[in-house]
Amino acid sequence: MSYIDGFVVPVPAGKKEAYREVCAQAAQIFKEYGATRVVECWGDDVPDGKVTDFKGAVKAEPGENIVFSWIVWPSKEVRDQANEKMRTDQRMQMGGDAPFDAKRMIFGGFEILMDTDGEKG
């Protein structure tokens, strides 16, 4: 059964294209290591909440947009093996060139509970 890695990150609005380029490069690596799908979504309708919201979750600052992303892996085992390989893959090291503040990214791994495309939890 597939396994999902999910991410939410604030990205300065003026760095949208730089972010897209970094994502395209990372997606190639994820797929090389077994991912079947990589999706990056640029916030278009991300309202402020009364108690909590996406912006608050990542401490978004004025002028930053929210990106919601996920990676589909064939299994948790494939994902775990890929993560181990990526820790030492120099292509994954962005250093100070990242177009976003990785310290404010939230992420996690998820088992599929329901999928209208056919997979069941």
CATH code of the domain in which 27 resides: 3.30.70.100
pLDDT one digit per residue (tens) for the chain, 121 residues: 899 999 999 999 999 999 999 999 999 999 999 999 999 999 999 999 999 999 999 999 999 999 999 999 999 999 999 999 999 999 988 767 789 998 999 999 999 999 998 766 6
Find the domain containing 20 and state its range: 3-96+107-111
Which residue in the block uniquely carries the two structure tokens 């919201």? Answer: 53
The domain total for the chain is 1
SS3 at position 9: strand
CB neighbours of 119 closer than 8 A, spacing ≥ 6? 1, 2, 112
Nearest to 63 by CA among 6, 16, 7, 18: 16
Nearest to 83 by CA among 13, 34, 14, 21: 34
